[in-house]
Amino acid sequence: MSDIFLHLADLADKPTVERLWLMFRHDMSEFEGDLPNPDGSFRDEWLHMAFSDPDRAPYLLTSGDRPIGFAFVRGLIGPARVMNSFFVVRGARRAGTGMRAAQGIVARHPGPWEIAFQDANPGAVKFWRRVATEITGDAWTEERRPVPSRPDLAADVWISFSTTAGSGSVRPVDDGA
Q: What is the pLDDT of residues 4-43, one digit of tens each?
A: 889 999 999 999 988 887 777 766 666 666 666 677 666 7
Residue-wise pLDDT tens digits, 76-100: 998 999 998 898 888 778 878 889 9
**Residue 117 predicted with pLDDT over 60:** yes
Q: How many CB atoms lie within 10 A of CB 93?
A: 15
Residue 169 lies in a domain: no
Count of the separate structural domains present in the chain: 1
In a domain, 20, yes or no: yes
In a domain, 60, yes or no: yes
Residue 38 lies in a domain: yes
**Residue 173 located in a structural domain:** no
Q: Is the residue at 177 inside a domain?
A: no
pLDDT of amino acid 153:
74
Query: CATH no. for residue 46?
Result: 3.40.630.30
**Structural domain of 30:** 4-163
**25 occurs within a structural domain:** yes
Residue 133, domain member (yes or no): yes
